[in-house]
Chain A
Amino acid sequence: MSSKGIRDRVAVVSMGCTRFGEHWTSSAEDLLVDATEEAFGSSPVRRDDVDAYWLGTLGSGQSGLTLSKALALDYKPVTRVENYCATGSEAFRNACYAVASGAYDRVMAVGVEKLKDSGFSGLLRSDPPGDGTAAELSLTAPAAFSLLDPAYCARYGVDPAELRSAMTHVAWKNHHNGALNPKAQFRSEVTKQRIANAPTVAGRLGVFDCSGVSDGAAAALIVRAEDALDYTDRPMYVKGLSLAAGPALGAADPDYDYTTFPEVIRSARDAFAQAGVTDPRREISLAEVHDCFTPTELVLMEDLGFSERGQAWKDVLDGAFELGGRLPVNPDGGLKSFGHPVGASGLRMLYECWLQFRGEAGRRQLADPRLGLTHNLGGRPGSCVSFVSVVGPELDG
């Protein structure tokens, strides 16, 4: 894959993000208004000053009308996008390209999901009429990702008890971080014992190994990099954006062993090339990754180049990815405790980078972050889409 990229050509100059959680009293429209009003609140731009909008939602509305009606927009172009759980990132990516192309000067990417109106646990599918044979129809998301656990143990000879400890550590860390985040769905620490002993959902995954099912919305105002300082003195510049949709080979190929996501490797390689990152382990200051389930975060550390193959579980247990570790991962609590309103999650990851670069992350604030990575996954092991962005607070020399 080769992308020319748009390094330092566009910038985020304002963002908004609702608290994530069970918003029984808010509709998707309410959440869209809340997130965009917060984004407009910190900038001089008003709703109709924005040239075009991109709306990401998996299933909380269809077409651009979902946003244009909620915001009463003045006949603006609004594009609704969907790319599974990477939907929010996809809205952002396309919005950035629209500015980089020169077609627009100011655009907004918005993501929203209202999951808690269904009355069911977990995510719902909305598949086209089919023949009833797709494995995805029966196997739930936690079950699909639970396949990583025994496969990883088998490939690297890891004692299942050790891997269980590492999975527990991921959940414990992300709950710890979320407890420091006023917008997180779950804002309390959870003991490792409680995580490890929770009722199982699928395979060895307990309820604390799963991301929070929640409602929420997030928004980003995006302008030309050369105009950024007209809006804010601390913009966030886009260094690289990559998306990889695989052929779903792993689900069909006996050579695939469920210990990696080839789509993540490809998208990370592409995003790093665009951003000029050659040593991600040293150059990336913080990473917001798609910790939909605890073993996912483990495997992502290897696919994103933050750990050697077969070593992520040790790095996790050594505290490498904690707030005070060598590379803080999911400082905002991640999908695990910030929650996962699908269409909003990718933008929520960028929101944490935005706060961290501006020194507005409160008790989670990291010292002088230089480059942030967001990683957003849609689908399941063997059949997925992967998005990686690299963002930073300064233009490169």
Chain B
Amino acid sequence: MTVAGSGRVSALVAYATYLPRHRLQRAAIGATLGAGGGRGARVVASFDEDSTTMGVEAAGALLRAHPATPGALYFATTSPAYADKTNASAVHAAIALPQATFAADLAGSSRSALAAWRVAQAERGLVVLADVRTGLPGSRDERDGGDGAVALLFGDPEDAIAEVVAQRSWTAELLDRWRAPGEAAGGQWEERFGLETYLPLLRRAAAETLAAAGLDEADHVVVVSPNPGVRTQAPRVFPGACSSPIGHSGAADLGLGLAAVLDHAEPGKTILVLSAADGCDALVLRTTERLARNRQSRPVADQFEDGVDVPYATYLTWRGWLDREPPRRPEPDRPAGPPSARSEAWKFSFTGSVCRCCGFTHLPPVRVCKKCGSADDMDQLSLASSTGAVATYTVDRLAYSPSPPLIDAVVDFDGGGRYTLEVADAQPDDLAVGVPVGLSFRRLFTAGGVHNYFWKARVLAPERAVAEGGDT
């Protein structure tokens, strides 16, 4: 069953990326701190997003476009929301995988992405890579990082969008990048030390892996690395090479780099992916005819363009660098374990119940129908992929929120069901009665060290309302 490198039994069959909506203009950093900054913008996870929630968004998008039951789920990140508790299990629950499907984390470094790739490839599994990249205010990591997620699905080679033709890895112990567990900012040795260690490895990896694939060169080259020098030098060393499409995104970087190529590569083309992180990993893929039909609907580049700016002070608050006066309201209680377990299908995959007698949809699921009174005669139904419309809404300036004001909307789902939800990524002016919304998996708050994951409403742009909602 394990055929790493052969590309025969398992191939890449689908991919999807998720970029948070917010952008931090680098000029805003310079304007505030009086130094640093630069041009362009970086992608910023909202205050209610983490590697788990972004992973859910990417995995959900992939499975909506490409319904499948993966053989396993492997989640890699350098910013796990929990230690001592599997984060992949929350992703698993949110995308409603069968209980018998294995799910595990590969958390720690950028290289964890390759580990997830290798095991998922062997088991026709789903790779979920996600990261929130932080750094001290004014640091290069803050400026050049990017937050995002990508999901990659392995499956039957008959369904391949790209075959893995060859892959090789080399390992090196060196102090280039490091971060103590729990710290929000990491260390970087002198950049040239890492660069000069990695460059010979990269050259060797490219040559030997291309040779193994029977190639002299690849049509596309992706080079990713936590070392900024590698990213800068890559196009010189490998002409035409592209790197991190949203800035360095940790464990998601390799997948986002590959996705950005898959977004436009022609069928029958070869892609060399090189990742320099505590060694060097090299992959050679060959795209298939199916790629043209099975690209994700919105390329990474389009997702990047579709953002809204966040003020630097707000960004610093979201990341915990700036402790601001909260509303005079108590912090919420932590979610409790047993109730959360009992309502796993509701809390994680937004599963309600539909009365078999009268058809009324209950969110959350109930045993006795509020409409007709019949008991224990319900079908379960997940509305996690559903769209709906805002019945009414309000802006709550008194409520506790990590980023006030809190916006809440009463959402009526297409086909039935109503629930009152917080609205993600919204400004008050974005809301109106009748506005179409979808759902987004978020971290509502963290209390007592417990993350409260649940769904929020997200205002859909008109074109996305059509794409996701069908006939609206």
Assess whether B176 is interfacial by the CB under 8 Å rule.
no
Q: Is B67 in contact with chain A by the CB < 8 A criterion?
A: no
Contact of A251 among B330, B338, B418 (CB under 8 A): B418
- Give the B interface residue count (CB, 8 A): 49
Q: A251-B418, A254-B418 are in contact. Are A203 and B395 (CB under 8 A)?
A: yes
Q: Does A397 lie at the interface of the complex (its beta carbon under 8 Å from any beta carbon of B)? A: no
Shortest distance from the beta carbon of A258 to any chain B beta carbon, whole Å: 6
User: Which residue from A137, A144, A147, A247 sits with its C-beta under 8 Å from B332?
Assistant: A137
What number of A-B contacts does a CB cutoff of 8 Å give? 128
Mask, A56-88, CB within 8 Å of B = 1, is 000000000000000000000000000000000
CB within 8 Å of A: which B397-440 residues: 397-401, 406, 408, 410, 412, 416-422, 433
Asked if A249 meets B370 with Cβ closer than 8 Å, knowing A131-B336, A131-B342, A131-B347, the reply is yes
A320 at the interface (CB under 8 A from B): no
Contact of A131 with B343 in the complex, beta carbons under 8 Å? yes
For B410, what are the chain A residues with a Cβ–Cβ distance below 8 Å? 147, 258
Supposing A120-B328, A132-B444, A135-B419 touch, asked if A140 and B396 sit within 8 A by C-beta, the answer is yes
Determine the residue in chain B with the shortest Cβ distance to A249: B370
Contact of B420 among A139, A142, A257 (CB under 8 A): A139
A273, CB-defined interface residue at 8 Å: no
Which of A121, A127, A151, A253 is within 8 Å of B392, CB to CB? A151
Among B393, B396, B421: residue with most chain A CB under 10 A:
B396
> B454 at interface (Cβ–Cβ under 8 A)?
yes
Measured CA separation A247–B373 after assembly (Å): 10
Question: Does residue A190 face the partner (Cβ distance < 8 Å to B)?
Answer: no
Contact partner of B454 (CB less than 8 A), chosen from A133, A203, A252, is: A133
Contact A254 B391 (CB under 8 A): yes
In this assembly, does B340 line the interface, its C-beta being within 8 Å of a C-beta of chain A? yes
Chain B positions 311 through 352: 1 when the CB is less than 8 Å from some CB of chain A, otherwise 0: 000000000000000011110111110111011001100000
Contact B398 A121 (CB under 8 A): yes
| Residue pair A138, B418 in contact (C-beta under 8 Å) | no
Contacts known (A132-B340, A132-B347, A133-B454); A143 close to B394, Cβ less than 8 A: yes
Main DSSP-derived SS at the A contact region: loop
Q: Is the CB of A203 within 8 A of B394?
A: yes
B392:A150 contact, CB within 8 angstroms: yes
Residues of B within 8 A of A132 (CB): 332, 334-335, 340, 347, 444, 452-454
A252 and B342 alpha carbons, distance in the complex (Å): 20
- B residues in contact with A258, CB < 8 Å: 391-392, 410
Mind listing 27 A-B residue pairs with CB under 8 Å?
Answer: A119-B328, A120-B329, A122-B398, A127-B333, A130-B339, A131-B347, A132-B452, A132-B453, A138-B444, A139-B394, A139-B399, A140-B398, A143-B394, A143-B396, A143-B406, A147-B393, A147-B410, A200-B397, A202-B394, A202-B398, A247-B370, A248-B370, A249-B371, A252-B419, A253-B370, A254-B416, A258-B392
Which 8 residue pairs across A and B have the least CB separation, nearest first? A132-B335, A129-B336, A143-B396, A135-B420, A132-B452, A203-B394, A254-B412, A131-B339
B residues contacting A by CB (< 8 A) are 327-330, 332-336, 338-340, 342-343, 346-347, 360, 362-364, 370-371, 391-401, 406, 408, 410, 412, 416-422, 433, 444, 452-454
